[in-house]
Structure 1
C-alpha cells in the first residue's frame, strides 16, 4: 500500500502518497474519488503527495472510503490510467447488527439453560460471554464509585449464577439483549429519518447551468450553485433567494404551523417546504453545513464527542 492516512476527522480525510507516484496519477485518483457516492470534494497535490477528501459521514463510512482508496491504489497502472472500474464503497454495517448477534447468543444460552443439556461450569462461561458488554459497563461504573441499573442487574445475575439458577439468569440476560436490540432498531430508524431531513438519498434538484436547467442529485449541490425550486417541493439547501416569491412552510425548523412569505433577498433553509410559488436560490450551504445538518450532527453523535456549543440563534430562520 503506497498511501497512509495523515489526518482523519469526522467528514474529512487526508491521505499521503509518494509525490513521485501521485503526480502522474493525480487526475485519475481525484476523478475516481469524486465519483464515489457520499464524497463531496477532493483536492490533490502532486507536489506534496497529499489528497484531502471531504465526505458525508451519513452516506459514507470512513472504513468504506479507505477500502475505495485501496482499490484505487491497486487499480492504477504505471501510466496513471484506471484499470479497475466500477469501484463501489462497502456498505456501512447496520448499527443494529451487534445487538442482534448478542440477542442470538442470549437466545442460545436460554435454550441450553432451559434444557439442561450442558454442565453448569459451561453454562456459567456462556452466561458471562452473552452478557459480557453489560458486565464490563457495570465494572466500569463500580470503578468510578457509581451504582447504576447495570450494576444492580450484574449483581442479580451473579447471585442467580452462584445459586445455579441458570434458567432465571439466562432469562435475565435474554431480556437485556432483547431490550438492547429493540433500542438499537429505534435508533437506526430515528437516525435515518434525521438524515432524510438533510437530503433524501433519491432527492433531486433543478440547477441552473448558464441559460439551461439540469436535474441533478440534491447531494451534488455545492455553495454557489443556482437552484430553482417550485411548489410543492422541499428545499435541499440553505440559500438566498435571487428571484421569485413563495410561501414556505418552516415547521421543521421553527414549529410554526402556517407558511410564511419569502421573496428576493430572504434566506431559506434546508428541510423547509415551498408550498406555493417558485424560487430561484443561490446555494449558501449544503449537506451537513446547513442549519438542520448541524442540528442532526449534534443529535447523531452525542456519545462520540462532547457538545461544545449549540448553533447560534442566527442560524435559524425568522418566525415571520
Structure 2
C-alpha cells in the first residue's frame, strides 16, 4: 500500500494513504490485519482520508512501516455483522451528538442575523427538493416539508423553520440507522456459506475445504447445490436458478462458456466451473436491496401505509387553503400546514417492519421480506416435511442388510460412495455411518444422477446401480423385491426408514436409518397450536408406519405418507384453495415445489441449498420453537403498525384542531408534530420480544 507519513513520534506513527485507498467497510479489517503484528499495540483506520494511526512497541518503527506497506486491501473482506454493528452504533451516536451539538452551538453562539442566514441556506435545499418533486409530477411528503419550511421563511419565522429542519434531520438519521443495523444483521445469515467443494484435478474430484480454493481452480457442482463462487462453466450443462441474482423464478440453461454467480443454485444437471471470484457478496447485496426496495417483498400493510401517506398530502394543502380563505389568518393556516399525517405513517411503518426483520435475525431467523411476516401472522395452517425437519437434523444409520454376495460392510461402503455427492440428511447419515465404521471408499462409479424425491442412479463396474426409496427401486426401476425380502426388512428395520440399493437390476441390500423427532418438535407444535395455528399437517415420503409413529409422538393433526414432491405441492395448493393461509416448513430438494406454493415458506438451517433458496424464511438455529417466536413477533408487528396508525391519526388531528382554533402557535404545532414523529419512529425500533439469551449462564452469574 502506498502512503505518506504525516506524523512520526516514538511509539506512534500516522500514515496517509489517500481517500480511495480502502472502503469504509474495510476499516475494521485493516485494523485487525495490523493488530496481527506483535509490534502493533493499537491501530485505527479511517476511510475518509485513508488515514492509519498505529501505536507500536519501542524499537519497532521499521517493522510497522513494512507491515503497512505490505497491506493489500484487495485481499481483505468486510468483517462479520457483530463488528459492523458496533461501528454502526458508534457512527449513529457520533452523528446524533454532532447534530444536537451543532444546533445548540448555533443557537447559543451565532448572532441572530448569521443564524438566520444559515437557516435560510439550509431551508433552500428543502424548497428545491419540493420544487423538483413537483416538476416530476409528484405531490408527496417532500413537497409538504418544503412548503412548511417555505411558509416559515416567508413569515421570517426562522426559529420554527430551524426546528422543523432539525426534527426532519433526526427522523432521517433514525431511519438510516435502522436500515444499516438490519443490513448488518442480515449480511451474515445471507452469505454463501459453503464449507467444502469438489475440486477437479487431472480428471478426478477431490473434496477440499472452501478456504483452500483459489482463483483459476475448477470445481464440480451438481443438482441441488449452491454455486459458491463467481465463475465460468468449462464443461457440462445445468439449469441454474438465478432468483437470488435476478429475481427471475425460471431456471436458466448454462453450458460451456456461460457465466455463473455465487449464491445461485443448480436445479438440475452437473457443471464444472472455473473460479473467477471468491465472493458471495453479490447475493447478499441483491437480497438486501430487495428487502429494502422491492415492492413485491414489502408487507401489504407497509405498501398500503406508504400509498396512504402520499394520498393524504393534498388534503393538508386543501386544509391550509380553506383555513386561509375562511379565517384570513395566516398563522392559523400555517398551523395546518405544519401538521401532516403522512410523515409519521410513511416513516414509522417501514421502520417497524425493518426492525422486526432485524429482531428476527437476532433470534437466528432470516426473513427475506416484510410481506412474509404479515403472511406468517395471518396463517392458520402449517405443513411440515418429516425427514430433517420434524425429525432429528442428523439421522443415524442403524444397520445395513445384505441380500446379495456383497457383505453388509460392502453394501454400506458402496452406498456411502454414491450418496456423498448430494446434500441431504439421509445421505449424510449413510456417509457418516460408513466413516464411523472405518469403511473408506474410492470413486469406482461413473457420473451420478440425482432423481428428485426418488434416489440416485449411476454405473458401478459396468452395472446400473440405484439407491433410493421403495417406490423408486421397485416401481420405477422394476427391481423385484420378494415377499421374503420384504418380510426380512420389516422384521429387522423396526420403525426405521429404509433406503434400498440395487445393482444390476437386483436388490443388493438395504440401509436402515433411524430418524427420531427433534427434541423440541413436540413443544414447537404445542406452541403453534396455542398461537392459533390448529391445523398441523405432516407430509413424508416414508412408510405409513413410520409416519404415524412420529405423528402420534408430536400431536400432529394429520399425516400423509409415501408422498412425492408433486403430491406435497398439490396438497399445499388444495389447502389454499380451501381458504387456508399456509406455512410450509421443509428441508430437502423434494420440498422445493411445496415451499414455493405456500403463502410463506420456512427452511431449516441444514436444509439443501435449493430448499433454502426457495424458502422465504430460514431458521438458522435449527430450533423449531423459533416458529412460535416468529408467530409472536409477526403478530406483535401487525399490532404495533395498527397502534401507530391510530396514534398518528388521533394525535395529529388534535394538533390540527388546536391550531385551527388558535390555542397553539405554529411553532408549538410544528414542534409537537415533529417530536411525535421522532418519538413514534424511535418507539417503532424498540424490541417486541425478550432478548435471546443463555438462561443457564445468567443463573450461574446470578448465583455468583
TM-score, with structure 2 as normaliser? 0.24
Which one has more relative contact order, counting CA pairs under 8 Å at least 6 apart?
2
**Structure ID, larger Rg:** 2
More helix by share: 2
TM-score (norm 1): 0.45
